[in-house]
Structure 1
Amino acid sequence: MTANNAAGHEDGGPGSSAAIVALTARVRGVVLVPGDAGYDEERSGFQTAFRQRPDVIVGAADAEDVRLAVEFARAQGLPVAVQATGHAPASAAPGGVLISTRRMTGVRVDPGARTAWAEAGARWERVVAESAPHGLAPLNGSAPHVGVVAYTLGGGLGLMAREFGYAADHVRAIEVVTADATLRHVTDESDADLFWALRGGRDNFGIVTSIEFDLFPVARVYGGSLIFDTDHVEAATAAWLAWTETVPEQVTSSISFIGLPDIEQVPPPLRGRHTATVKIVYTGEVADGERLVAPLRAVGPRLVDDLTDLAYADSHTIHNDPAHPHAYLGDNVLVRDLDPEALRAVYRIAGPDAPMMVVHEVRHLGGALSRQPAVPNAIGHRDARYIVRVVTMIDGADLDVARALQAEVQAVLKPLSLGRNLNFVYGDGVAPTPDQVAAMYDPDTRARLAELKATHDPTNLFSGNHNVTAPTTDGPSVPR
């Protein structure tokens, strides 16, 4: 932070200059205010459409830096938000303190205990790489460049989710800085209520600096994609829905729909086509996997059929999620049941006739996802059998058009809707409303989270998130 910019924060303002200078002297990382070199880079993430606009950024180097940042925010009466990889910032509201954890990338694997420990800025690609030599795998999602902590504590719908459940179901311990600026080691034994709330309530209850979680003895999977051309989209959709009624829990799958431009960067079989792609992960034997997918192959010819035996370290190739930052708007609907007609209605909105590039996907849930783990948590809507996701690419497009498309999909699916999955609400630059937050949880879970929020963060210091309690003032009333 520069002296001139620090001087711009006069005593009594949103973070006095003296307090900022004192904070800068104490942290190992960086402290930045608007106008500083590096400020824009620090607040930027994977989502390029919306960026946080904080009064102060603390680029934390370790857990003590996080604690000091919370202590500073509490003393200055400033709300707190956190960002690691920046895939889904809760809002771009101005003001407050943003704690950036991207420098905190430590990962340790204990092959004997079949556990891993990861800091708040670690990404799944490193956990996968360090687990694989031991024949172990984490419950990571489809994109290896996603951060471990927010993904896990928001639920964590992984490649093997139907067999093993949500990633949050297998957290063993959490290091978190709470609203009193104390670093705590939280387990079910040490604080059952807070441990329950963090696994699903996420950063409403503190800034998590690291977690410990289970690994699983999976070295290889049978996986890949079956991609069908436009003429077979409807048949493939109906076949996949029927197929999901029959498959064992060792199968986790999805069907996605996308139109790709006719450009050189797109592989020739897919260039200029609107396709349906069934993506599959099966943890059993290859021969059994081949028998399981026979009904899907019977739909008709495939543009791509790359189902094969894969090292788990190569499982990211199944979804091939884009790794470059870009602008998008995304939302989802959790449903108990789904029929071809409902998907046809979504396809009419988000398919080839959509006003912009749209990816929409349906993931099969159920199995272990439907059951509470041995140590229950706050993950909502476990009775959902499918999740319907819609992501609109908004580079150069009208944001209002994208919002209208999302609203139209939500309206079509409303009769089937149970709510939303927290991790797939990508936000549109504003904080989620209380109604939107309520849709992420079962009513009893939402009520208990609100009670625990009142206990652990009564002034709503941690408000830059999917806030589980409606604010009573224009901002948090933080004791000085």
Structure 2
Amino acid sequence: MTATHHPTPALFALSDIHGPVLRPGEDGYAEEVTGFNLAALHTPDVVVGATGPDDIVAALRWASATHTPVAVQATGHGANFPIDHGLLITTSRMTDVRVDPDEHTATVAAGAKWSHVMAAGAPHGLAGLGGTSTDAGVVGYTLGGGLPVLGRAYGYTADHVHSLQVVTPDGTLHETDPVHESELFWALRGGKGNVGIVTSLVCDLLPLPRLLGGGIYCPGEHAEPLLRTWVDWARTVPDQMCSAYTILRLPPIPQIPEPLRGGFWARVAIAWPGDPAEGEALIAPLRTAAPVAVDTVEVMDHAALDRIHMEPQDPLPARESCALLRGLPPEAVRAFLAVAGPEAGPDYPLLMVELRHMGAALSRPAAVEDAVCARDAEYLLESVGVLASPPIAEAVERATAALTATLAPYDTGHTMVNIHGTPGNEQDRARAWTPEVYERLRHDKATYDPENLLRYGHTVTPV
């Protein structure tokens, strides 16, 4: 990377930015810093609402000249702890999506959501590899690897990135791909936001106009037979079959549709991009495992992906965590049910505890090497708790710790950076990568961000 001279701070003024520049107490500040996860209430010294790459360049040059730490937020789905002091750059105004129907690609700006990509691709019969909520931002999701609903069929979203435009902390704009600045390209795909702020990326779109998807819901007291059937069934299904087993304790609030509202449920979520009739035949054993109360599995437009996992659509304060599991032997199934199933009782504080089937395309190396490190997991364990009050927040923390400890004998020792939850010390943060990848990221951090200005969130420590 070409060395850049840093002029005096006076030469870089925040007044050069086209978007809003706000400080605490000013009109619009609170709205600008608030994201989807209300557990992370940010209080930066200044927030810049970027309108394009030039604003991000100007903001980072100012931050570099003034030695001000920096964070970035698009939607706030991935916010895992409050940012205090420093500079927050929001990209929610940068939502442009341009589809190339001949190349089956999309050029996606920094603040675009998956819903924007789905809407742009749908007229061409094309879809992106989004996750369980299309309200999430494309760039942050992809930089963390990106675990798609159709991951077993197509792999990680980061594996499908062609190029990225990124501003490094010194305010330099880079165009990076497998040929140009290949090490920066590697570090961005799976290394999260450790080496720069991405202004746009180019990624694959797939010819996926429709799929078979939805959920098979059983009353929670039947969680055990549904789980045991699903575990046995998952060992036999084709790579294209994507599924997750979930225990849900849903609050009685209007945002949750009837008849699920206020209920205790065991669910298997299904996503199958192949022939619908074949998919229906494959999932038949799940429908006979336990009494089915609600069955939403149907052929749907890919843009309707949200109907599969039915994640909350409104902002809320949440605590998320995950672990990658080597497998689910019978003793692991028993342990999981004991800590999170019916035996845990109606007051168990976690809204959702989920086991996602991994493997297949998620286990294969990317065509162009990246920093994604979750390829050796057979299952992913994820939990979400809503922090409605301090006593509930404490109960969520205890339940999260107990769940993690109970399944620890079966995990790989690693997590996924996007779902890791609140990052702890360096040893805890490093669990999102293998030791070799973590050390490589540390060296890249020293190259592109030696002052560690991008120090908020799930960061690595430069060497």
TM-score by length of 2: 0.93
Matches within 5 A, 1:27-426: 27-261=17-251, 266-351=256-341, 352-353=344-345, 354-398=347-391, 399-418=393-412, 419-426=414-421
* 8 Å contact kept, 1:434–1:470: no
Superposed CA offset, 1:340-368 (max 9, x none): 44244334333452442521111001111
On the 8 A contact 2:139/2:200 being kept in 1, the answer is yes
Report which stretch shifted further, 337-346 or 228-237: 337-346
Report if aligned partners of 2:33, 2:43 keep a CA contact under 8 Å in 1. yes
Q: Judge conservation of contact 1:90–1:464 (CA < 8 Å) in 2.
A: no
Q: CA deviation at 1:127?
A: 0.4
1:68-116 CA-to-partner distances (Å, cap 9, x unmatched) read: 1100111111111111101122432421111111111111111000000
Which stretch of structure 1 is more off in the superposition, 341-350 or 209-218? 341-350
CA gap of 1:250–1:343, structure 2 versus 1, over 3 A, is same
| Alignment equivalent of 1:439, drawn from 431, 452, 461 | 431
Equivalent pair of 2:80/2:457 in contact (CA under 8 Å): yes
Specify the code of the residue in structure 2 equivalent to 1:201.
Answer: G
Number of aligned residues: 451
Distance 1:347 1:96 in 2: 44
CA contact (8 A) 2:353 2:381 kept: yes
User: Any conservation in 1 of the 2:324–2:379 contact (CA below 8 Å)?
Assistant: yes
Residues 220 and 312 of structure 1 are in contact (CA less than 8 Å); yes or no, is this contact kept in structure 2?
yes
Following TM superposition, by how much is the alpha carbon of 1:60 offset from its aligned partner in structure 2, in angstroms? 0.6
- 1:412-444 per-residue CA deviation (whole Å, 9 max, x = no partner) reads 1111222111111232xxx53211211101111
Q: Deviations over 1:207-238 (max 9, x none)?
A: 11111000111111111111111232100001
Letter in 1 for 2:57: R
Q: Which is worse superposed, 81-90 or 135-144?
A: 81-90
Contact (CA 8 Å) 2:129, 2:157: kept in 1 or not? yes
Of the three residues 417, 434, 443, the one matched with 1:451 is: 443
Residue type at the aligned position of 1:422: V
Q: Give the residue type in structure 2 aligned to 1:332.
A: C
Structure 1 pair 253–214 and aligned structure 2 pair: CA distance change class (3 A): same
TM-score (norm 1): 0.90
Distance change in 2, residues 1:63/1:289 (3 Å): same
From the superposition, tell whether residues 31 and 443 of structure 1 become closer, same or farther in structure 2 (CA, over 3 Å): same
Residues 2-28 of structure 1, C-alpha deviation per residue, up to 9 Å, x if partnerless? Answer: xxxxxxxxxxxxxx9x959x7342111
Cα distance in 1 between the residues matched to 2:400 and 2:221 = 25
Report if the CA contact (8 A) 1:176-1:183 is conserved. Answer: yes
How far apart are 1:389 and its partner, in Å? 0.4
RMSD: 1.9
Aligned equivalents of 1:425 and 1:63: distance in 2?
29
Does the alignment pair 1:467 with 2:462?
no
Higher mean displacement: 393-402 or 443-452: 393-402
- How many angstroms apart in 2 are the aligned matches of 1:132 and 1:261? 34
Percent of pairs with identical residues: 41
Q: 2:309 aligns to what SS in structure 1?
A: coil
One-letter amino acid of the counterpart of residue 411, structure 1: A
**Structure 2 CA distance for aligned equivalents of residues 100 and 271 of structure 1:** 34
1:322 partner SS:
coil
Q: 2:69, 2:199 → 1: CA distance?
A: 18
CA distance in 2, matches of 1:266, 1:80: 36
1:169 is paired with a residue of what secondary structure? helix
2 CA distance for matches of 1:82 and 1:272?
Answer: 35
Cα shift readout 1:223-277 (whole Å, capped 9, x = no counterpart): 1111111232100001111111011111111011112345676545435431111
What residue ranges of structure 1 are gaps of 5+ in the alignment?
Answer: 1-15, 472-480
The letter of the residue matching 2:449 is D
2:23–2:46 CA contact under 8 A, matched in 1: yes
| Aligned partner letter, 1:435 | Q
Structure 1 residues 67 and 90, CA gap change in structure 2 (3 angstroms): farther
* Structure 2: segments with no counterpart, 5+ residues: 1-7
